[in-house]
Amino acid sequence: MQIGMIGLGKMGGNMAERLRRGGHEVVGYDRNPDISDVGSLKELIERLQAPRAVWVMVPAGAPTQATINELGEHLSPGDLVVDGGNSHYVDDQKHAAELAERGIGFVDCGVSGGVWGLQNGYALMCGGTTEHVAQVMPIFETLKPEGEDGFVHAGDVGAGHFAKMVHNGIEYGMMQAFAEGWELLEASDIVKDVRGSFSSWRTGTVIRSWLLDLLVRALDDDEHLDELKGYAQDSGEGRWTVQAAVDHAVPLPVITAALFARFASRQDDSPAMKVVAALRNQFGGHAVTSTAGSVEKGADSPGADVTPPVV
């Protein structure tokens, strides 16, 4: 099958390569001319035979919207757009409606697999009509891992990215659990082989997983993670998951806590903890650390006024 691929970064480039290895003809476009097959989106469309299929792999938000707008100007009725980026499911419904006015189909597809997808295949979660999904099913079959699993037509437009959003929320929680367990083991005076402990869990335990395998791999490279800074970015899907939970009144304590933990990682000097330290000093006389690094006396030191108010 012939398909246009827009966005040839780490994910899009590998996906294009996997499709070519699977016998498909891929025409790729990227803003980087060194890796692009064509010089513009218009040229990409001209290279494809009708009915055309175009897969979009650009950042969510404004870049995706701009791409959809331009594709709408150049594609023809009967053509199809697949958004395989990390778009918000609400945006999918908007994009589908915009393209439908021109007779152009739309499928949203959440993609998981990272840099390992070229070798192992990509887990695909798509949303759209049965007709539109069938139109690009040969592409899905090649991108997915071998076997029965790895692909789902999750529902209507937006369902694919909604499922991927929840997937990433679960991923947040799992990574946070591994992270907290690692920190506790590292803090222990009893456990001498933290890396070995994690490695031992890879066989026979209920927490064995690919994430665990990847953590052990990271510890093989840097046993105590001394070369890393404790800073973790979020892609936005964790936030969308928590917001969707609020919208549907579904409690997500683990995923929400994992998202907030990432926020905390970005604070070298937490403003909230300054308030906590100040209050502990005021009501309990606990010592505080100044910005100069020195430890100052607590509020209950001689001469300090800690008389509680008369109620």
Instruction: Give the active site residues.
Output: 164
Three-class SS state of 210: helix
Backbone angles phi, psi at 120, to 5 degrees: -100, -15
Contact 261, 176 (CB under 8 A): yes
Which residues, including other chains, have CB under 8 Å from residue 252's CB and lie 6 or more apart? Answer: 169, 241, 242, 245
Backbone angles phi, psi at 273, to 5 degrees: -70, -25
Pair of tokens at residue 263: 């926020």
Q: How many CB atoms lie within 10 A of CB 89?
A: 20
Q: What is the DSSP string of 236-272?
A: SHHHHHHHHHHHHT---HHHHHHHHHHHHHT-SS-HH
